[in-house]
A = this chain, B = another copy of it.
Amino acid sequence: MGNVFLNLMDQDEVKEIIESLKIRRRIEKIDLSDVYKRILAEDIYAIIDLPPFDRAAMDGYAVRAQDTFGASEDNPITLDLIEKVGAGDVPLKTLGKRKCTEIGTGAPIPKGADSVIMVEFTNTEDGSVQIYEAVAPGTNLSARGSDMKKGELLLSKGNLLTPERIGALSAIGMSKVPVFTKPTVAVISTGNELIKPGQELRHGKLYDINSETISNAVKACGCTPIYSQIVKDDYDTIKNKINEFNHADVIITSGGTSAGAGDVLRQVVDDMGRVLVHGISVKPGKPTLIGTLPEGDKDIVLFGLPGYPVSALMIFNAFVAPFLREVAGFPGYNQKKESIVLKLSRRYHSARGRSHYVLAKIKGNVAIPIIKDSGAITALAEADGYFKVPKNVEIIEKGEEIKLIPFPSF
């Protein structure tokens, strides 16, 4: 393969390579009560008329409109009450001339009736009802199929299932819903110095941060993270761990990608599959690796992120998140749409020749750049997002506008 790492690739080139990667989407049917924020995998057509029958839109009396013509406050018309129908009941009697049926909101309109008089405009006495208002046919009723007819498109494949859309599925009585299966993403932190939060910290050791930041960022992309143990930075250990996750759709590692002595991931991926990218012309995040690992009739996509937590999460957000959202069918977060234009709080000076991602905090309509080294985890805790500095830009002056890309926390 040659030393791809020495050929740093441009961001756009890397994005093209990522866009060419494919993962087969799977579909599953799940209970209606579990579909919140899942993605619909098929077009859904109304399987019944909505509403399914002519129903009363108000409490009152179902009438033949023509019987009410001429009725007014001064000149009520009297109709015979033949039946009472509440919501959920079925009317048994057909309405003849000068008859009426007491009816509750949502109840079916009896045969023969064509409108409803609101209870406020009536008076009941001894089995007859005085009507104080004339109505046109169709008044205060919702006709069968007036909202949607059987066979019409209700929701589309790819729709995010919000409370409103789940309501629409309920309306047609759907109890099992076809959604895209969440892609599974194995998250592996490599590094001999790393220990798990909760363990005792001995000299030379650091708490593993990337397992948590990356796993949770994976959730925000509509995918399911598979937590791994921390693995030592050596060839066999990393190779075995990758083999263990051959059921995952995507594997994300962090650490073990730099060109230094401890670099082994490159070798593992070279031996197991294909390295597509090793090195991106961007700061932070230069040593990023992208590869594919053949597994049965599919390819597992592997992203090797830098070890530094800030670098790892920035590269994740810039390159991995759009890919994961795409394979999850998850439309939520779109960088172009969602960026916020803010003024820079201070002059920013950047080294030329590499694009830069700069963390920033929002304060009113101002972006405050957070200038810390990429090992600084507190920078992450403070940041609301980041902005890009193109590689040919050296200085952004105080007060110039930048486009802040907020972290996709939801």
Contact = CB atoms under 8 A, between A and B. Distances in A.
Contact of A163 (B36, B197, B208, B212): B212
A213 B167 contact: yes
A155 B407 CA distance: 17
A33 to B, nearest CB: 7
Contacts of A50: 376-378
Interface string A136-153: 000000100011100000
Nearest to A316: B163
Query: How many copies of this protein are present in the complex?
Result: 2
A263 B25 CA distance: 49
Contact of A204 (B58, B88, B164, B194): B88
Contacts of A213: 163-164, 166-167, 170
B87 A170 contact: no
Contacts of A58: 260
Contact of A212 (B102, B155, B167, B176): B167
Contacts of A129: none
Nearest to A220: B163
Interface stretch (A104-112, A235-243, A271-279, A295-303): A104-112
A215 B172 CA distance: 18
Contacts of A194: 88
Contacts of A170: 197, 207-209, 211-213, 377
Interface in A292-318: 307, 309, 313
Given A51-B206, A163-B213, A209-B170, A260 B88 contact: no
A160 interface: yes
Given A36-B216, A204-B88, A307 B383 contact: no
Contacts of A211: 170
A173 interface: yes
A56 to B, nearest CB: 10
Interface of A: 32-33, 36-37, 48, 50-53, 55, 57-59, 86-90, 102, 104-108, 119, 142, 146-148, 154-155, 160, 162-176, 191-194, 196-199, 201, 203-217, 219-220, 227, 233, 258, 260-262, 307, 309, 313, 332, 372-373, 375-381, 383, 407, 409-410
